[in-house]
Amino acid sequence: MQPRTDAEAELALAHRAAAGDANAFQDLTRRWYRPVSAFIWKRVQRADLVEDLTQETFLEAFKSLKNGPAPEHFSSWLFGVAANRCGKHLRRKQLVRFAGDEVPEQSVSDNTLFVEEAEEQAKWLDRLDAGLAELPPETRDLLERKHRQGQTCEQIAAATGRPVGTIKSLLARTYKQLRERLAPAGELP
C-alpha cells in the first residue's frame, strides 16, 4: 500500500534509512536540504559555515537513524539535530567572545517550531529563485561565475572578453534588481 500523506511517505523513508538504505536517506536529504541550510544560515549568520554544519547535521542524522529507532516525526527530529549542531558551534564561539555566557540548549519540544521557522527561512531562497528565473541567461551566468565559482570581476572579464567596468555595472544593477524583488518580504533575517 502506498503512503497516503507526505508525513507517511517521510516516515516510510526514515524507516528504510534506519535499515541502512542510503537511497532513502538521499531522498530525505533532497527534500530537507534547503530548509535545513536556511535554518542554519539564520543561526550562524555566515554562508561559509552553512555547508559544513548542514553536512554534519545530515550525516549525524543518518548515523543516528542507523543506530536507533526511526523518529516518529522525522523533520522535527532533524531540526533538533540541526539546532544542536548550531548550538555546539555557537558555544565554541562563545568561548572566545562571550566567556561565561552559555548558549541555552533548545528543548526537544520546540522542534516543531524549528520546522516552521525553517520553512519560513527557505522562502527567502524560493523568492530569490523567482528573481533569478527572470534574469537573462548571460546575467545568470555572471552570477554563477561570481557566487558559485567564486570568480572576481577581473577574472570574469578575462574569461568572457568583456570590459571589467561593464561586468561591475551589470553586477551592481542585477544586485539592485534582485534586492528589489526581495524587498516586499521585509528585511533579510
Partner 1 sequence: MNPMTCHEVEEQIELFAAGECDAPTEAAIRGHMTGCPRCAKAESEARRFLDLMDVRLQEPDRLQRLLDRIEAESAPKPASIPMTGRATPHRRSVLATRRQWFALAASILLPIGIGIWLTPPAEQPASQQAQSDLTVALLPDRSARGHEKLVAPALANDKVSSEMALTFHLQAEGQSTKKFRSDLVDAAFKGRPTPPPEVDLLLQVHNATDQPMRLLFDDPRAELRLYVSGPGALRLDGPRDADPFGGLRIFDLPASSTKAFSITRLVGGSRRQPVYWYWTEPGDYRLRAVLRAPVQSGSETRMRSIAGPAIPIRVR
For binding to partner 1 (CB under 8 A), which residues are involved?
20, 22, 25-26, 29-30, 33-34, 37-38, 41, 45-48, 50-52, 54-55, 58-59, 62-63, 92-93, 95-97, 99, 124-125, 128-129, 132, 143-153, 155, 159, 168, 171-172, 175-176, 178-179, 182, 187-188
- C-beta closer to partner 1: residue 87 or 124: 124
From CA 132, how far away is CA 124, in angstroms rounded?
12
From CA 88, how far away is CA 123, in angstroms rounded?
26
Let me know how long the chain is: 189
For the bound state, the minimum distance from the C-beta of residue 44 to partner 1, rounded and expressed in Å, comes to 10
For the bound state, the minimum distance from the C-beta of residue 97 to partner 1, rounded and expressed in Å, comes to 8
For the bound state, the minimum distance from the C-beta of residue 189 to partner 1, rounded and expressed in Å, comes to 8
- C-beta closer to partner 1: residue 25 or 114: 25
- C-beta closer to partner 1: residue 110 or 126: 126
For the bound state, the minimum distance from the C-beta of residue 7 to partner 1, rounded and expressed in Å, comes to 22
From CA 24, how far away is CA 54, in angstroms rounded?
18
From CA 135, how far away is CA 158, in angstroms rounded?
22
Nine cell digits for residue 97: 567572545
* Helices of type H across the chain: 6-18, 22-44, 47-67, 74-97, 111-133, 137-143, 153-160, 164-182
